[in-house]
Chains A and B, each alone.
Chain A
């Protein structure tokens, strides 16, 4: 410790300026994760002493869960605001969508918080320090702004007051327009996290953000009928599900096309990208990708939407919409998980 104190930039165990003091962080850490036992450093022991193409192991399901939940939350709010403006859902459903969006975002943040370094995680506020260069900082700002705006939008109603920015007022319209804009920006920003670095070729392509955006919107469009069902009853849900079926169908086709293009493109790209594709189609991730993303996340929803559009599901709209929402959500999570798992670095030399 004394040694380190003499080194500029390695101020060991010194409380960082504006940061949480180490003693407090340690106490908070004990409360947060003490029950889980000692942490193990994943993604370090695999630094082998051979020349190869290493697979990233430091970002796993918690990051995938964060990406999925935050995307689903933003997608939900995006469609909720749009459909409310179009008069397709009532005010109660819109409020529930907004509230659910906040809850999903908070769970997403907790998931990523648990992934941060033990003890050091309590300085998470430092994530906001580099908006000019770090896409992560911009993404964190985006999700916090989105949460804040949604809380502001629903807080008066949830507290039982008459909202000064209720629907129909000028302030209310501006607020909702702002939420819509921030939701779009956030979906794009969070989707760009993986593609902004060129270390991992499979991630470093515009197709990855496009896929994430597509799956986020698909998640939103298939979840909204569920909320309508809960608040307005089956008839309203059936109407909305039928109205939204063409949108869901278009998004499914777009997502399938993007996925096919991405995998096909990567299969003829650089060697690490080809290793990623091999893992995806023939390796350990095959089950998640082919079974979870392709079949459950795309093929099953496509079948259900086709039946909805053909009018073959009369009387079965509720279970169909539920199955559609569940399949799309599971597929959305597994897409993020599979993409993270097949992150292969290029050669270090």
Chain B
């Protein structure tokens, strides 16, 4: 089994509910967002529009962070989920340099959202992280293991986010991918991301990036 994540860009309305749900679920510290919805304005007045692209860890099948990490703190589970074993991390930030999606963070402790003194919520939530180590989206695997979807998927009011088993040809996610036009982020880098973006019928533009553009990086 391999977990996959699908984002329907036609449905995303940029409400950031997934961002807030992720923060509430995982209690990530100030300035650290495991889930982000990137915005981009395109077109020229009066024909302008704003596009939204949710990004998070892609849980790549060939993850550069796992290979680059000298301490083995980045671990890939058999179901494809890549997580950080904070007890092994010593905060060298190699993962940040190696990840082409600019995903991992390092938390050095410090203030909460309301200043130096942490709220009881922050105290409880921040306490689960080790100071000075890397952190990133872990696909809410504590929820998956309990049979529940990740917090971001559950919170999306537009049903733009969904998950499924990529190894099962009969799964809903594979059925959707067979039916809809899609692409994976920066697939040309060989990371084999487990995240798919669904695009509309006429969609020449995705998340603000022109699909025909060949020099994304």
Contact = CB atoms under 8 A, between A and B. Distances in A.
Given A39-B110, A59-B93, A117-B91, A198 B189 contact: yes
Given A197-B98, A348-B38, 12 more contacts: A9-B77, A9-B141, A12-B130, A22-B130, A58-B106, A117-B131, A119-B132, A123-B89, A136-B70, A136-B92, A348-B101, A348-B186
Contacts of B132: 39, 116-121
A209 to B, nearest CB: 15
Given A51-B207, A117-B108, A198-B189, A349 B55 contact: yes
B215 A270 contact: yes
A136 B94 CA distance: 8
A4 B90 contact: no
Chain A, interface residues (CB within 8 Å), range? 35 or more
B217 A130 contact: no
B181 interface: no
Contacts of B99: 199
Contacts of B131: 117-120
Contacts of B39: 49-51
Contacts of B208: 51
A8 B86 CA distance: 11
B90 A121 contact: yes
Contacts of A53: 217
Contacts of B68: 133-136, 196-197
B57 to A, nearest CB: 11
A19 B106 contact: no
Contact of B90 (A58, A127, A135, A346): A127
A349 B88 contact: no
A38 B91 CA distance: 16
Contacts of A40: 108, 110
Interface string B173-196: 000000000000110010000000
B6 interface: no
A133 B69 CA distance: 8
Q: Which 9 A-B pairs have the closest CB atoms?
A: A117-B91, A346-B217, A117-B132, A120-B132, A126-B71, A16-B87, A4-B128, A199-B100, A51-B40
Interface residues of B, number: 70
Interface of A: 1, 3-4, 6-17, 19, 22, 38-41, 43-45, 47, 49-51, 53-54, 56, 58-59, 115-124, 126-130, 133-137, 140, 194, 196-201, 270-272, 343, 345-349
B201 interface: no
A12 B94 contact: no
A349 B209 CA distance: 8
A349 B75 contact: no
B162 interface: no
Contacts of B189: 198
Contacts, number: 229
Contacts of A194: 97
B13 to A, nearest CB: 15
Contacts of A345: 100, 102, 217
A130 B77 CA distance: 17
Given A13-B127, A19-B87, A117-B106, A346 B71 contact: no
A127 B92 contact: yes
A6 B145 CA distance: 11
A11 B150 CA distance: 20
B87 A11 contact: yes
B36 interface: yes
B29 to A, nearest CB: 8
Nearest to A22: B130
A271 B216 contact: yes
A17 B75 CA distance: 16
A348 B110 contact: no
B204 interface: no
Contacts of B103: 348
A6 B89 CA distance: 19
Interface in B71-92: 71-73, 75, 77, 83-92
A25 B186 CA distance: 39
